[in-house]
Amino acid sequence: MSELGFQSWAEQMATGLAVVDGRLRVRWINAALAELLGLGLRHAQGQSLAGLLPEGGVAGQAVRSLAEQRSVQCRGVALSGVHGGALRVDVSLQPLDADSLLVEVHALAEAAPAVSPLSATLRGFAHEVKNPLAGLRGAAQLLQRRLDDADMRALAGLVIAEADRLATLANRLLHHDGAPQLADVNLHHLLERLSELILAQASPPRLRHDYDPSLPDVRGDADRLQQVMLNLARNAIEAGARTLTLRSRVEHGVRLGEHMFRSALRLDVIDDGPGVPAALRETLFEPLVSGRADGTGLGLALSREIAHEHGGELRYVSRPGETVFSLYLPLPPRTPAPTAGRSDG
């Protein structure tokens, strides 16, 4: 396998991998290891192996592995300063040639929860969808140039915009450049965009809106929040809903995680479908759990992860004929604006 082919394969692996040169400097690292070490991919490039894994004599064993051109194992190495110092790993060192070494890092079983299996699954998924997204975008661009009908060109533009948004999400998952891109988000604009996407489908459901006009903007990542609402709406449609209601509210006295908030924003997707099957209710938000034979079980798991990274939660109540999925987002207390002094001139 070529080096490029190896890297393409290794980038999808949940196992932490890196290649270091003869001076034990990182030449390449995959997203799984960067996440485990709590580093950005770019920051890890050029770092010394001794700096990344200072415990357990890893650097000395790496020198020995290169010199003797044989594999060496380092067991129970502590990652000092990472994950509160509680994480221990096994490190495998394998010479690739006289001047490069493959470093393979496995979190020990008791520390496994420190690495998100959902994130690893989503990185693999993101890698798989990038090429189809590029093809979809290219086809939509060709259609947009050749169509005379303005409405059809607008639909092609919608496809291009959605392909770009999903490509951005895929890149963030692949490269794990981590934190949400926060800005002021008008949640009603987000819901109107969602309405456009729903109505662009071949057989859209009846759509209703029930908005609280007093809803303030919220600090958040618009692309990721849009993805949550789109996942909820698509799940409802695929479950057989004929009517969707998009609702916004301010709710008071809300506990989100371990914190109590005086006020929180709530976005609801309400459908008239058959409801969540009883067998799935306890595990509905877990990865790879789906009520459909062709479902991936990633949509709700990803949606919950996005809600949590915004300090919020995803909840639902369900019965036949009415299912409500609610995205809660904390509303920070308002700071009174300073009173400007009046000057009569």
Tell me the average pLDDT of the chain: 80
Distance between CA atoms of residues 221 and 208, nearest Å: 25
Over range 20-43, report the average pLDDT. Answer: 83
Residue 284 has pLDDT above 50, yes or no: yes
Q: What is the reported pLDDT for 106?
A: 82
Burial of 211 (0-12, 13-18, 19+ CB in 10 A): middle
Distance between CA atoms of residues 31 and 43, nearest Å: 12
Name the band, by pLDDT with cuts 50, 70 and 90, for residue 25: very high
Over range 274-301, report the average pLDDT. Answer: 70
Over range 196-212, report the average pLDDT. Answer: 91
Name the band, by pLDDT with cuts 50, 70 and 90, for residue 122: low
Over range 291-299, report the average pLDDT. Answer: 54
Q: What is the reported pLDDT for 340?
A: 46
Q: What is the reported pLDDT for 299?
A: 78
* Strand partners for 206: 243
Token digits for 267?
């976005």
Q: pTM value?
A: 0.52
Distance between CA atoms of residues 266 and 248, nearest Å: 6
